[in-house]
Amino acid sequence: MIMSVPYKTYLEESQLPKAWYNLRADMKTDHRPILNPATLQPVTVDDLSHVFCTKLAEQELNNTDRYIEIPEPVRDFYRMYRPSPLVRAYFLEQALDTPAKIYYKYEGGNTSGSHKLNSAIAQAYYAKEQGLKGVTTETGAGQWGTALAMACGFFGLDLRVYMVKCSAQQKPYRKAVMETYGANVIASPSDTTEVGRKMLAEYPDSTGSLGTAISEAVEDATTHEGYRYVLGSVLNQVLLHQSVIGLEAKAAMDMLDEYPDTVIGCAGGGSNLGGLMCAYMADKLKGKSAPKFIAVEPASCPSLTRGKFAYDFCDTGKVTPLAKMYTLGSGFIPSSNHAGGLRYHGMSPILSQLYHDGYIDEARAVEQTKVFEAAKLFAKVEGTLPAPESSHAIRVAIDEALRCKETGEKKTILFGLTGTGYFDMAAYMAYNAGTMSDYVPTDEDLARGLKNLPKID
């Protein structure tokens, strides 16, 4: 096969970004302030510092510094698994017989199996630097918990992960990976917190929920000296750390003299898409010509395509601050779509604002079996077995490439392959067996979730 550019392009380690890019500094309209739920006033660094590390609280509210230096120990750690490769999907192009050029940025080549490590190591570093004993978090599917376990293991920080009980039972191996890195994994609801004990007293057979796990992790952190709570998506600080994806991707594309016509990412909380698109979004915010940006979400949890742009809690337990974002309502219970990382009722406030203002051109909801169809084709021709989350982006990249085949356009498509599906084989088994369903919520389902939104303008 004639390969005009390398199949994989790696930056030199000396070309790795030395600073994260803070998209907010360039946004025409900043996202609406995050509100303290008790006072309904904008949260301050001081408010947030009780829950988050101080440096991270500052990053959360920073909308002025365009670049924020990546601390040297974080850059050292990044060298273990970064730069991640920019891949020209020659074999996928061939299989589709498309004139389009398809590139993807592959973030799954580390043991956490996803891009989550980019923010986990940063958050662990700031906790260490602040002299904390440890951090707490929650995890559903387990990717974030694994990434954080690796990061805390590296810096010698204590970590307590509240893992949704049914996940902990269904995924004992994910739990084992976290424990191997030294994390303490607690099935939620647990008897170690007030919230957990109350839940267990009321529902002794509860298999848990992400909402309860968040509440437990926050309570644990705020009631123990020397601990803070950390979170793997949605937050501005997480999008900031994930900017390494987009900065690297653009640098590698520049080396190849390529500029994408279309940038595609899956969107659950929004951190991966926010990271991937940031360097090109900078062009758009400056009024230059820029790619078309497409956010892809599951049809079963369609916050951008069918949600409301409104203030809402970031968690189902209603203990977190309020953010203005696209939401299905914090009470919305997504169906058991297998892409656990995309089952979130809301969306990053930054991405929500950009979508609302038309900077993100399109949001597209895709059905699960179509996603796995794309995932299997991708695995077969490009080798890597993709995560269900990432496969949402693959689906749309394929659809765009097939459209080019019809029109004859030679578009350049860039998408984010955020992770691998090695711990998601139950979902593949359901697809292979033909038992996977394409549940899409009805308008009535959505109305139920949206009717209790807080009344804040």
Q: Find tokens 């700031």 and name the residue.
A: 126
Count the neighbouring beta carbons within 10 Å of the beta carbon of residue 156. 10
Radius of gyration of the CA atoms of the chain, in A? 21
Neighbouring-strand partners of residue 415: 104, 264
69 binds a second copy (CB under 8 A): no
184 binds a second copy (CB under 8 A): no
Calpha distance 417→275 (Å, rounded): 12
355 binds a second copy (CB under 8 A): no
153 binds a second copy (CB under 8 A): yes
Taking Cα atoms as reference points, which of 313, 275, 298, 300 lies closest to residue 363? 298
CB of 58 to a second copy, least distance (A): 26
Binding range to a second copy, per CB under 8 A, among 108-116, 209-217, 229-237, 360-368: 108-116
Listed as own residue / partner, the contacts of 71-78 with beta carbons closer than 8 Å and 24 or more positions apart are: 71/122, 71/125, 71/129, 73/125, 74/121, 74/122, 74/125, 75/16, 75/18, 77/121, 77/125, 77/151, 77/154, 78/16, 78/118, 78/121, 78/244
Among residues 3, 46, 64, 443, the one that binds a second copy under rule CB under 8 A: 3
Site track 231-250 with a second copy (rule: CB under 8 A), x = hit: --------------------
CB closer to a second copy out of 76 and 191: 76
CB of 259 to a second copy, least distance (A): 22
CB closer to a second copy out of 146 and 233: 146
426 binds a second copy (CB under 8 A): yes
429 binds a second copy (CB under 8 A): yes
DSSP category for residue 420 = B
Binding range to a second copy, per CB under 8 A, among 46-54, 170-178, 310-318, 394-402: 170-178
Q: Where are the beta strands (DSSP E) in 328-429?
A: 362-366, 412-417
DSSP category for residue 51 = T
Displacement of CA 92 from its chain's centroid (Å): 25
- What one-character-per-residue DSSP string does 185-196 give? EEEES-SSSHHH
331 binds a second copy (CB under 8 A): no
The CA distances from residue 347 to 35, 42, 239, in Å, are: 16, 19, 12
DSSP category for residue 270 = S
309 binds a second copy (CB under 8 A): no
CB of 202 to a second copy, least distance (A): 32
CB of 106 to a second copy, least distance (A): 10
125 binds a second copy (CB under 8 A): no
CB of 374 to a second copy, least distance (A): 13
432 binds a second copy (CB under 8 A): yes
Q: Which residues bind a second copy (CB under 8 A)?
A: 1, 3, 6-8, 10, 12-13, 72-73, 76-77, 79-81, 91, 109-111, 113, 150, 153-154, 172-173, 176-177, 179-182, 376, 379-385, 420, 422-423, 425-426, 428-429, 432
